[in-house]
Amino acid sequence: MNRFESLFSHLSDETDCVFITSDVNRRYFTGMKSSAGIVVAFRSKAYLIIDFRYIEKARLTVKSAEVIEQKNLFSQLESLLKENNAVNIAIEAETMTVSELSAYKQKLSAYHFNDSSMLSNAIGALRSIKDDEEIQCIQKAQSIAENAFEQILKFIKVGVTEREIALKLDFTMMQLGAEALSFETIALSGANTSMPHGVPSDRKVCRGEFVLMDFGAVYNGYHSDMTRTVCVGKPDPEMEKVYNIVLEAQKTALSYAKAGIKGSQLDAVSRDVIAKAGYGNFFGHALGHGVGLEIHELPVASPKSDKILKTGSVVTIEPGIYIPGKFGVRIEDFVIITEKSCRNLTKSVKSIISL
């Protein structure tokens, strides 16, 4: 089954057309990155309507859909709908704006628009299971990030600022072939490490402090995500203790990760380790999230996620302990879920590193 066939198998029977309008999902179905265009898919055929700026590239690269140059969008849509005898159109309710939807409804008033979350949910479910080609891109993205991490370890020393560390990581990932950064790199030091999503500042690293780095590279649209916390000089006994609790929580989750476990169960086995060690109040975020064409996608491993993990999902495992005013530790790998366990895509060392 190609991706369109799989998609229609997830939709209600009466759905005879879908409009795929979000950049990320258009890329998922066509393989081409663009900031405009619409995929119009019927059960037996799919089209990509895209404007002049992208038409040459689309004609050369898009194989899954017939490429049509955009002229007068609504009349082009209407003739495709007529040609394919379609009446019921599903739209991406999670991303289409209210004004876009009202324009479609007004200009194509003879048609019925399903504006429930059905289409967004179905695409989310498809994207949560990766095929081999997607896994290869994710692995390449991760190898870029890991090579950058190796290089940053030589760069971090007393007196270097958080911003310098972040910039060096970013530059190195781009130099190693990243098409973009997965998100704004987090590089924090000392007391700032207690803020899980802190922003790098001009603060200089001092001896005996943690440096926490959360970063990732994008390769062919696919993201990677990793976090390491390293110490400049020797950690004090409390820092070492907390680091090892987080490490144990992380390894425990890795040992439980497999197809069939609920996101909430995986979160719980890790959270329990931290709670039993007395730090339950200092782990205030979810254990993990899916990664793919977006940095945060399905599935989710949080206390609330009752969905089970499936073979082929890529999910992060990133417990942390954050003690306000003192320090924080997070250790993050990401894995592919398999039938009986998981395959860790992150190879960088995670025993405590003293630089």
Chain positions contacting Mn ion, by CB under 5 A: 225, 316
Q: How far is the CB of 118 from Mn ion (least distance, A)?
A: 28
Q: How far is the CB of 320 from Mn ion (least distance, A)?
A: 10
Q: Which pair of tokens denotes residue 245?
A: 């609790």
Region for 191 from its dihedrals, namely left if φ exceeds 0, alpha if ψ lies in -120 to 50, beta otherwise: alpha
Q: How far is the CB of 314 from Mn ion (least distance, A)?
A: 11
In three-state secondary structure terms, 33 is coil
Q: Which is nearer to Mn ion, 91 or 166 (CB)?
A: 166
Q: Which is nearer to Mn ion, 37 or 288 (CB)?
A: 288
Interatomic CA distance for residues 65 and 78, integer angstroms: 18
Q: How far is the CB of 274 from Mn ion (least distance, A)?
A: 17
Q: How far is the CB of 294 from Mn ion (least distance, A)?
A: 12
Q: In one letter, which amino acid is 237?
A: P
Q: Residues near 304 by Cβ (< 8 Å), separated by ≥ 6?
A: 264
Q: Which is nearer to Mn ion, 194 or 316 (CB)?
A: 316
Parallel/antiparallel/unpaired status of strands 88-91 and 66-69: unpaired
Over the range 227-244, which residues count as b (16 or more CB within 10 Å of their CB) and which as e?
bbbbbbeebeeebeebbe
Q: Which is nearer to Mn ion, 24 or 68 (CB)?
A: 24
Interatomic CA distance for residues 323 and 129, integer angstroms: 36
Q: Which is nearer to Mn ion, 108 or 135 (CB)?
A: 135
